[in-house]
Amino acid sequence: MEDLTEVYNELIMEHSMNSYNKKELKNADYSEMGHNPNCGDEIKLQMKLDGNVIKDMAFVGHGCAISQASTSIMIDTLKGKTLDEAKEIIKTFIGMIKREITDEKELEKLEDAIAFKNVSNMPARVKCALLAWHTIEKMLEKKDENNGK
């Protein structure tokens, strides 16, 4: 049995129930849909850039507590970061969930998103936790392709 109390900590509950990041972003530069058919989680992620810096992000959608909280906490973590910093954090989060990165020092850069560390012990929840992070990965890949990088 999965021990939900390990995962549903206060921070995750707070973000899943009433997230201030859950709204339409006006004049977003980028928008990307994410879907996790295993659980029925769906999000639309929107991002606004200021040069190379993530100026604002928001999301709309629905799904389980883990997917919604993970999206909201990701937004808090990445807002204000440069795209290069964001890519590094995204890589680290995915590595943490897949248990490829376990070094505490390296995980520190995840800030609040480290709250999802125990999800790596819950195979059924892994895709929920990763949804937003894969969605922004896809968004940034498309952006780079369009810029001819």
Closest to Zn ion by CB, 110 vs 128, is 128
Question: CB of 41: closest distance to Zn ion in angstroms?
Answer: 4
Question: CB of 119: closest distance to Zn ion in angstroms?
Answer: 10
CA distance 109 to 45: 22
| Residues binding Zn ion (CB under 5 A) | 39, 41, 64, 67, 128
Residue 23 Cα distances to 19, 73, 131, 145, angstroms: 9, 14, 18, 27
Closest to Zn ion by CB, 47 vs 132, is 132
Question: CB of 43: closest distance to Zn ion in angstroms?
Answer: 10
Question: Could you tell me where the DSSP H helices lie in 62-122?
Answer: 65-78, 83-97, 104-107
Closest to Zn ion by CB, 39 vs 107, is 39
Nearest CA to 130 out of 144, 118, 116 is that of 116
20, 123 contact by CB (below 8 A): no
Closest to Zn ion by CB, 55 vs 98, is 98
Question: CB of 36: closest distance to Zn ion in angstroms?
Answer: 6
